[in-house]
């Protein structure tokens, strides 16, 4: 039976959560609804004292949580999934307001919580044994302690939960720091989680950009699991080095997509476009460079344009909306910079240049830039918005080299009727997550990581669980 809602639990007051209790702060900041540019609710700005208190509470909670059998930890995670589901509609509305996502797409995120937790409940921590006549060597995996989860704004529930669930399952305690742009859903679900988990096991601190460095500097945080930009990831690693913290860095990408000439253009072009425009391009593994074989280039771009024209851009609750706004002012200005650069360099806008300055709300029409030069900003950098370049190719070795010619290596996709040919090409791409005949769709059952500057370590799958653990190797000799 699902747990029912426990009253009162309101969705319009927001707190930090420390040692099982909600707490306010002297100062507050507010997120902005990106559809209306109206201010949302106040959120407390955590201080160094809040960080110290949360870490101390985490350290107190850690031994008992570490010693709780994994089956019990899984059971509590399952109970939390049910409790979250009881409030799924409230979380969905909140998520729409803080991100502007179209409601059906935001629902994928809230519905994904149960799936994420179920996938993790199926994992087992490995036990490895080497045995001979004189000894047994047993390797087990033990938790690290207090984990700091530093999160971005593009999937506020999925990406924070993707740290909380494996951290708790492996016996760590965790403090979540949501992005200041989207603090609401994470603060709320962690407040809700206090009904399930012992105090100090899962906590949350919201704040401004001073808060992340307080996490990375804290000597008693054992690991930082970070998702965000490459530039901030480097700062996190540098700061964490001072206390030799473990770090997992899930960073940006510049994903290439290679389309072979044998594809069914009408079927594949819309899929490839969705890979670029899903969540208005604000996806680390969004397709960011599309390489189409020259034999079908013209028809393929035309089919993408036809599809893109039909993608309705608008507010969460509008009927038939496929793309919401860009989430925040900083990102909106950044994406506009890519439009301005392409305009200035006289790149070809495949279906006219949209007005990106005129709307109330951070809305941008999906845009395709037709064959800009290799060294253009739109090819070289990650826009993280609904604008994508296409280029033709003819020589496979050359296009693989071009696809790999980036410091990022997060995702990639290859599309071909001849799957063996596509797989052979996919194997040569320098990226952590390569998809054949699909755009990149992370799956919590499989390890997710970036090559090169797209990250260090990774999340999801059993391998992801182990990133929250120390290896403990016991060599036991017979007397």
Check binding of 227 to ligand NAD (CB under 6 A): yes
**Closer Cβ to ligand NAD, 58 or 392, answer by number:** 58
Stretch near ligand NAD under the rule CB under 6 A, chosen from 95-103, 228-236, 262-270, 363-371? 228-236
**Minimum separation from the CB atom of position 446 to ligand NAD (A):** 13
Distance CA 267, CA 299 (A): 12
Stretch near ligand NAD under the rule CB under 6 A, chosen from 35-43, 92-100, 164-172, 227-235? 227-235
Q: What Å distances lie between residue 320 and 162, 327, 389, 398, CA to CA?
A: 29, 19, 26, 40
Distance CA 172, CA 105 (A): 31
Choosing from 166, 171, 183, 252, the residue that interacts with ligand NAD (CB under 6 A) is 252
Contact predicate 478/467, CB 8 Å: no
Check binding of 253 to ligand NAD (CB under 6 A): yes
Check binding of 250 to ligand NAD (CB under 6 A): yes
Choosing from 66, 199, 235, 452, the residue that interacts with ligand NAD (CB under 6 A) is 235
Check binding of 229 to ligand NAD (CB under 6 A): yes
Decide: helix, strand or coil at residue 398: helix
Check binding of 151 to ligand NAD (CB under 6 A): yes
Distance CA 459, CA 127 (A): 20
CA-based nearest residue to 290, from 372, 393, 391, 434:
391
**Closer Cβ to ligand NAD, 31 or 450, answer by number:** 450
**Minimum separation from the CB atom of position 328 to ligand NAD (A):** 8
Q: Which helix (H) or strand (E) holds 289?
A: strand 287-293
Stretch near ligand NAD under the rule CB under 6 A, chosen from 11-19, 221-229, 387-395, 471-479? 221-229
**Closer Cβ to ligand NAD, 152 or 444, answer by number:** 152
Contacts with ligand NAD: how many residues (CB under 6 A)? Answer: 29
Distance CA 55, CA 61 (A): 10
Phi and psi (nearest 5°) for 272? -65, -40
Distance CA 123, CA 70 (A): 10
Check binding of 232 to ligand NAD (CB under 6 A): yes
250 assigned to active site: yes
**x/- site string to ligand NAD, residues 170 to 209, per CB under 6 A?**
-------x-xx----------------------------x
**Dihedral (Cα; 437, 438, 444, 449), 10-degree rounding:** 80
- End-to-end CA gap in the chain: 53
Distance CA 268, CA 380 (A): 25
Report 276-315 residues binding ligand NAD (CB under 6 A).
Answer: 284
- Among candidate residues 109, 191, 250, 453, the one labeled active-site is 250
Contact predicate 16/7, CB 8 Å: no
Check binding of 212 to ligand NAD (CB under 6 A): yes
Q: Residues interacting with ligand NAD, by CB under 6 A? A: 150-154, 159, 177, 179-180, 209, 212-213, 216, 227-229, 232, 235-236, 250-253, 284, 382, 384, 410, 450, 455
Catalytic residues: 250
């Amino acid at each position: 039976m699902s747990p029912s809602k426990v009253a009162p639990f309101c969705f319009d007051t927001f707190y930090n959560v420390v040692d099982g209790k909600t707490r306010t702060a002297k100062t507050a900041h507010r997120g902005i609804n990106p559809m209306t540019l109206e201010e949302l609710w106040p959120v407390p700005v955590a201080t160094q004292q809040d960080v110290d208190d949360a870490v101390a509470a985490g350290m107190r909670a850690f031994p008992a949580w570490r010693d709780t059998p994994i089956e019990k930890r899984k059971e509590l995670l399952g109970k939390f999934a049910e409790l979250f589901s009881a409030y799924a509609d409230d979380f969905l509305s909140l998520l729409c307001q803080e991100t502007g996502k179209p409601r059906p797409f935001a629902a994928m995120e809230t519905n994904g919580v149960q799936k994420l937790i179920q996938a993790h409940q199926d994992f087992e921590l490995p036990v490895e044994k080497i045995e001979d006549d004189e000894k047994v060597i047993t390797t087990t995996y033990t938790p690290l302690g207090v984990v700091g989860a530093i999160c971005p704004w593009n999937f506020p529930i999925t990406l924070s939960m993707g740290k909380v669930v494996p951290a708790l399952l492996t016996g760590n305690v965790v403090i979540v720091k949501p992005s200041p742009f989207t603090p609401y859903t994470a603060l709320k679900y962690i407040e809700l989680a206090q009904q399930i988990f012992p105090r100090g096991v899962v906590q949350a601190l919201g704040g401004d950009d001073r808060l992340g460095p307080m996490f990375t500097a804290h000597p008693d945080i054992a690991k930082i699991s970070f998702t965000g930009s490459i530039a901030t990831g480097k700062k996190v690693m540098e700061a964490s080095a001072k206390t030799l913290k473990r770090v997992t860095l899930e960073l940006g990408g510049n994903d290439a997509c290679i389309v072979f000439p044998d594809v069914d253009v009408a079927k594949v072009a819309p899929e490839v476009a969705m890979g670029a425009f899903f969540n208005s391009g604000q996806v680390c593994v969004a397709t960011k460079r599309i390489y189409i074989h020259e034999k079908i280039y013209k028809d393929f771009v035309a089919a993408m344009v036809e599809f893109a024209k039909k993608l309705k851009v608008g507010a969460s609750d509008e009927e038939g909306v496929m793309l919401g706004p860009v989430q925040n002012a900083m990102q909106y200005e950044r994406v506009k910079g890519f439009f301005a650069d392409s305009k200035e360099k006289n790149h070809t806008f495949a279906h006219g240049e949209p007005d990106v300055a005129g709307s109330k709300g951070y809305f941008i029409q999906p845009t395709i830039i037709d064959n800009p030069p290799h060294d253009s900003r739109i090819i070289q950098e990650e826009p993280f918005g609904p604008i994508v370049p296409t280029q033709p190719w003819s020589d496979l070795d050359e296009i693989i080299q071009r696809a790999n010619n980036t410091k990022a290596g997060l995702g990639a996709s290859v599309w071909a009727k001849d799957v063996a040919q596509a797989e052979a090409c996919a194997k040569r791409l320098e990226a952590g997550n390569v998809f054949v005949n699909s755009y990149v769709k992370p799956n919590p059952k499989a390890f997710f990581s970036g090559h090169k500057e797209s990250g260090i370590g990774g999340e999801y799958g059993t391998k992801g669980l182990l990133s929250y653990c120390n290896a403990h190797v016991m060599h036991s000799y017979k007397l």
